[in-house]
Structure 1
Amino acid sequence: MSVLAAIAVLAVLILVHELGHFVAARSQGILVNRFSLGFGPVLLKYQGSQTEYAVRAFPLGGFVGFPDDDPDSDVPPNDPNLLRNRPVLDRAIVISAGVIANLIFAYLVLALQLGIVGIPKELNYQAGVLVQPVNQESVAYQAGIREGDIILAVNGQELPASDQSTPLLTKEIQTHPNQQIELKILRENQQQTLKLTPKLGADGKGVVGVALSPNATATYRRPNSPFEIFGIAANRFQQLFVGTLSGFGQLITNFQQTAGQVSGPVNIVKIGAKLAEDNSVNLLSFAAIISINLAIINILPLPALDGGQLAFLLIEGLRGKPVPSRIQEGVMQTGLVLLLGLGIFLIVKETTQLTSQLEWVQRLFQ
């Protein structure tokens, strides 16, 4: 049931994205002849006055279809309500609306979670620093550190029960590239000592390939007003959005160190299933995080994504005429093949390396 809940969340996020495109088009009078949730064989469909609505077998996908791309459409090629015949700005609104819908949805989900769970009041700190998911190729994993471990001391220095423990440990790691450090960890009430040598990162600092979080639990209180909920939700949305952008920036500038942290469908569903199993409200956190990631990925100027289409529109606006269709089709088809290849690679990789990498999501909102 938890796996189905996670898949349902992903299906909702895709539905929100496609609804953004659909509403933006219909509100401008642009013709839309298909709206589909999922891909593969059609399970259910309904023919409206203008649009065919369908649910397909595999829910992790979807599309909005326009008569422009339908060779069987009887709409005249010069119809002003065809998407391709609209001004650049109208088309840009339709293409970007999916991304905007995902961002708005993420913010509303964060507000809903605060309304249900309450406002974090304070953190109750315990000694040490909690280890978040460890990549199997990382220095930390190879040294024996596992997700859920609590690091109690570094180089003989105890990590206190305060908000200073995580910065202290981070500093020790970053200031000892290519130098061995000693860690005392707690795992299932058993203490042990491990030694590892941080690698030299691109920025000249030591890295071990692990994320850290305070060893703390949060207490909550009831919100004073809806305005407080929306204000705190805005702050959390900003933190998540900036953090996600930073993560994509590191993937570009420091690909070797961060590529292993990229997750595909298997790992994403796995994370959502674990959260649903622990506490169904955590699925709201999951939905917000994935929705923001989906928005940022789609706005990247890559072929076959919304950002790629926006890039073509920008070029069209600058040169005063569209990029030739054969060039657009060639770029989009190449990009689609590459994206499908990446998706298949991630699925295979994660299916053969299903390690526990989930607890950290629960702590993002503490």
Structure 2
Amino acid sequence: MSTLAAITVLVILIVVHELGHFFAARLQGIHVKRFSIGFGPVLAKYQGTETEYTFCLIPLGGFVGFPDDDPESTIAVDDSNLLRNRPILDRAIVISSGVIANLVFAYFLFIGQTATMGIQNLQPGLMIPQIDNNSAAMVAGIKEGDVILSIDQYLLKEFPAATTLFVEKVKNSIDKPLNLTIKRKDEILDLTVIPNSNKEGRGKIGVGLLPNIESSHAKNLIEIFVYSSKTYLNAFTLTIQGFWQLISHFQENVQQIAGPVKIVEYGASIAQNNFGNLFQFGALISINLAIINILPLPALDGGQLVFLLIEGILGKPLPTKFQESIMQTGLVLLLGLGIFVIIRDTASLTVVQEFVKQIGM
């Protein structure tokens, strides 16, 4: 059930993103030919007055299709309500509305988190939501739900300082024992973990890390909105910083890129502890989805906005064939990266590793 819940969250975020594009177009009177969630074989479809709505087998994406380049379209090529015939500002609104929808939706998810889970106060230490199979952490006896209070006599402060210290100690301690003080429910335990080496030659123990949080009920609606706003701003800032860290130190951090399989696994792990945490999980993924889509890369919303910016500077659009070749190349590269990440993340799943062992591979 927790895995299904995590998948549902991802599908909802995709729907929200595509609805942003769809409503931005329809509210401006722009023709929309198709609204699709997912890729691959069509499972269900409905033909509206103008738009065909479809739900496909693989719900890991979606798109809003316009009749502009459809050779079978009966709409005149000079129709003012075709997307390509609209002013740059109108098109920019349509293209950017998916990102805006995800950002707005993330804020309301934080409100839902606060209303159901209460105000979350950061406490010293780090919580372990997930442990990799056959990892150094599992060998050491660390369990999901444990809270790490100290590492090698260094008391951990609140997130994010605690994460920085912990990661740095583990990274520089390959094959060296680290003493951990762990809180497990009402028990305080002392464990020793010996980090392994990852592909980059840095220490790892195979755990996920979350802030250590203590919840209290909000007193009124004003407190819910104020706290949610602060949480949203903090999450957005940290996400931007994380992306900058990834881009500026790509080779060091490339292994941290997670695809839909890993995201679902992580979401399922969170849901097992408390379904209410899916609000926060959804909000964080929604912010990440928005930032990824606004990057100035071909086949993403940000890439299309770059074309509009160039059109505004030159006073005319770039040749259609040139734009299409750039977008198609970008799409192939993104799909290739996506497939690679999905295969890598699937291969690392515990159930897959156990199956491989059983068949003797």
TM-score interval, normalised by the smaller of the two chains: 0.7 to 0.9
State the 1:354 CA deviation.
2.2
Q: Whole-Å Cα distance in 1 between the matches of residues 336 and 79 of structure 2?
A: 37
My pick for the range that moved more, 78-87 or 48-57, is 48-57
| Runs of 4 or more consecutive aligned structure 1 residues displaced over 4 Å after TM superposition | 122-125, 128-136, 143-155, 164-182, 186-190, 194-199, 206-214
Q: Cα–Cα, structure 1 residues 326 and 167, in superposed 2: closer, same or farther, change >3 Å?
A: closer
Give me the CA root mean square deviation: 3.4
1:36 aligned partner: 36
CA contact (8 A) 1:107 1:237 kept: yes
State the 1:57 CA deviation.
1.9
1:336-347 to structure 2, matched below 5 A, reads: 336-347=331-342
Q: Deviation string for 1:97-140 (max 9, x for gaps)?
A: 000000000001110111122223x5565xx655676899x9x8
1:349 aligned partner: 344
1:70 aligned partner: 70
Q: Whole-Å Cα distance in 2 between the matches of residues 287 and 94 of structure 1?
A: 23
Q: Cα–Cα, structure 1 residues 254 and 280, in superposed 2: closer, same or farther, change >3 Å?
A: same
CA contact (8 A) 1:152 1:186 kept: yes
Q: Quick one: which amino acid aligns to residue 98 of structure 1? A: G
2:94 aligned partner: 94
SS in 1 for 2:275: coil
State the 1:264 CA deviation.
0.4
1:301 aligned partner: 296
SS in 2 for 1:31: coil
State the 1:224 CA deviation.
2.6
Q: Quick one: which amino acid aligns to residue 244 of structure 2? A: G
State the 1:26 CA deviation.
0.7
Q: Deviation string for 1:276-332 (max 9, x for gaps)?
A: 232221111111011111100000000000000000000000000001111101100
1:287-366 to structure 2, matched below 5 A, reads: 287-354=282-349
2:233 aligned partner: 238
Q: Cα–Cα, structure 1 residues 36 and 250, in superposed 2: closer, same or farther, change >3 Å?
A: same
Q: Cα–Cα, structure 1 residues 302 and 170, in superposed 2: closer, same or farther, change >3 Å?
A: closer
Q: Whole-Å Cα distance in 1 between the matches of residues 50 and 343 of structure 2?
A: 40
Structure 2 gap segments, 5+ residues each = 352-361
Q: Whole-Å Cα distance in 1 between the matches of residues 38 and 195 of structure 2?
A: 46
Q: Whole-Å Cα distance in 2 between the matches of residues 276 and 130 of structure 1?
A: 15
Q: Whole-Å Cα distance in 2 between the matches of residues 12 and 144 of structure 1?
A: 38
1:363 aligned partner: none
Q: Cα–Cα, structure 1 residues 144 and 317, in superposed 2: closer, same or farther, change >3 Å?
A: farther
My pick for the range that moved more, 52-61 or 240-249, is 52-61
State the 1:9 CA deviation.
1.1
State the 1:251 CA deviation.
0.9
Q: Which of 257, 267, 270 is 2:252 aligned to?
A: 257
Q: Whole-Å Cα distance in 2 between the matches of residues 324 and 290 of structure 1?
A: 35
SS in 2 for 1:14: helix
1:276 aligned partner: 271
TM-score (norm 1): 0.81
Q: Quick one: which amino acid aligns to residue 255 of structure 1? A: F
